[in-house]
Amino acid sequence: MPALTGYQGKQEPYQNLVLSTKRVLPTVPCCIATPTVCLSACLPVCLMVNFVVCQLFALLTAFWFRLYLHPSKTSPFIRHVVATLLGFYLALFCFGWYALHFLVQSGLTYSIMIFAELEHMHKLCFIVALGYLSFCQITRVYVFDYGMYSADFTGPMMVITQKITSLAFEIHDGETCMCVLVKMPSLLEYLSYNCNFMGILAGPTCSYNDYMAFIEGTAYQPRHLETNGKENGKYKHTEPSPKNNVISKLCTCAISLAIFLSVSKIFPVERSIDDKFIASTPFILQVLYLYLSMLATRPKYYFIWTLSDAINNAAGFGFNGYNKDGSPRWDLISNLRILDIEFATSFKMFLDNWNIQTALWLKRVCYERCPINPTAATFLLSAMWHGVYPGYYLTFLTGIGMTMAARALRHNIRPYFLGSTTHKSVYDVITWAGTQVAICYTVVPFVLLAVGPSLKFYRSWYYCIHIACLLLVLALPVKPWHLRAKEEQQQQNSLQGGLTGDHNSQCITDNNCNQKHKAT
């Protein structure tokens, strides 16, 4: 199962909007504070403004890009050049010369793709890309300024790392088992894929083939096929407009940002470890407060990811076929489904709808290939990818136990509640409440970052959910992972029969290939 990713922390691709300093500022106006304190107080605000201004600029540019550099009016070469140059301009504006790290990381891995043997190329790219990202994260956090903000250029590098490794695995798999057909990109195509203006600041990641189809103007053609392989004549002659979808997503952004700005300061997570709060607040109210504090945190991610999705859609990227009513779908690279997150009735359902593209990346490069305990390996990779703060590792180690316990509980208990609609409704309410509390409990270290405060929180809860997870895993049987993988593969194969015209080129659509080459 993909690990919990992107919940909160200083290492996120969208961090420029949400970073806050850890220094305790004196209660004096900024204008009469010392210059250092004034700078540390104002810097996150400046970064927030920088990020929003750049994303709004990217949004306007995306409309221009679609209208005036449409594939019917210009060549793929021009579209690649413009997308790349605009991407580097935004990167330089936000991160200064730190943006050169994007070129270094891309250059190193492109050299590997060109000169390394195909058998080992994907592994070397994975090691170098992730290793360079980790090096930058370590130096930024522990060398420059621990707990304080220094230019968080590692955020975009996280998404670039996903793109580099995804492409390397797609090329390897395409050559070895023909489950994905990806040609070796030129240097311009590679830089455009990694650093285009639509996703340079906040992603999301995407398949290289999907990006090339967008640039070349072929993204709409295969998606006019119905599941039976016949052309849908009603819609095949018109290119769908993203206007309504972009407007809808911008409205979601506005609502999310308004909720976050008005509510988040009322429920700071740090209050959960305040001694007076712990001593004077009944435990049930502590649980309720934790849920509200995390609920107030999520809208900023809804804002950032939805805005990024709207930017890509405005440029014409993200079309994913049609709904049954004939309306176009623009969710090819969407990163979240808000209602499914807020009403998730299982740990897996929450993870499957939060940071979707990262979850798919983790599944593609780790979960489906790891020969030993892929769940634990996937969570640990997610922790490494996020950064070097200890809180990340506490969160993802806790997430391993949560996932195993949720899987055991669902496998053994859920069948007893499927006999009637009433029983199913009761089960859904109970599991919704349990899932929300479990998620909140798991991600507290991700927010607090340090070991001491994180363990203080868990001690205040007497490690009760950790203990409950351990007892559930020990007491309830569950099928070994390789048997579950086989069943999932059979289910996917039955669902995918006849979908041969699907344009989605990601290797997760052919688990036979991944199962055959797990050892690679």
d(CA 313, CA 245): 8
The sign of the dihedral angle between the CA atoms of 125, 131, 134, 135 is: negative
Segment (H or E) for 511: helix 511-516
Cis upstream peptide for 204 (omega within 30°): yes
In 3D space, the residue among 316, 320, 328 whose CA is nearest the CA of residue 66 turns out to be 316
Half-sphere exposure of 513 (CA within 13 A, CB side): 20
In this structure, what token pair is assigned to residue 247?
């407007």
Angle formed at CA 348 by CA 419 and CA 129, multiple of 5 degrees: 160
DSSP structure string for 184-221: PPPHHHHHHHHH-TTTTTT-----HHHHHHHHHT-SSS
Q: For residue 322, which amino acid is it? A: Y
3-class DSSP string for 361-389: HHHHHHHCCCCCCHHHHHHHHHHHHHCCC
In this structure, what token pair is assigned to residue 234?
């009603």
Polymer length in residues for the chain? 520
In 3D space, the residue among 205, 288, 304 whose CA is nearest the CA of residue 250 turns out to be 304
Is 355 in the active site?
A: yes
Q: For residue 281, which amino acid is it? A: T
Look-up: residue for tokens 């050169």?
Answer: 100
In 3D space, the residue among 438, 392, 394, 444 whose CA is nearest the CA of residue 271 turns out to be 444
Segment (H or E) for 332: none
Enumerate residues 6+ apart whose C-beta is below 8 A from 213. Answer: 219, 503
> Of these residues, 16, 245, 353, 355, which one is catalytic?
355
In 3D space, the residue among 351, 265, 260, 312 whose CA is nearest the CA of residue 7 turns out to be 351
198 close to 318: Cβ distance less than 8 angstroms: no
Roughly how many angstroms between the first and final C-alpha of the chain, as a whole number? 19
d(CA 45, CA 38): 11
165 close to 57: Cβ distance less than 8 angstroms: no
Q: For residue 431, which amino acid is it? A: T
List residues bridging with 354 in a β-sheet. Answer: 336
In this structure, what token pair is assigned to residue 162?
């996903």
Is 511 in the active site?
A: no
> Of these residues, 172, 386, 466, 503, which one is catalytic?
386
Active site amino acids: 355, 386
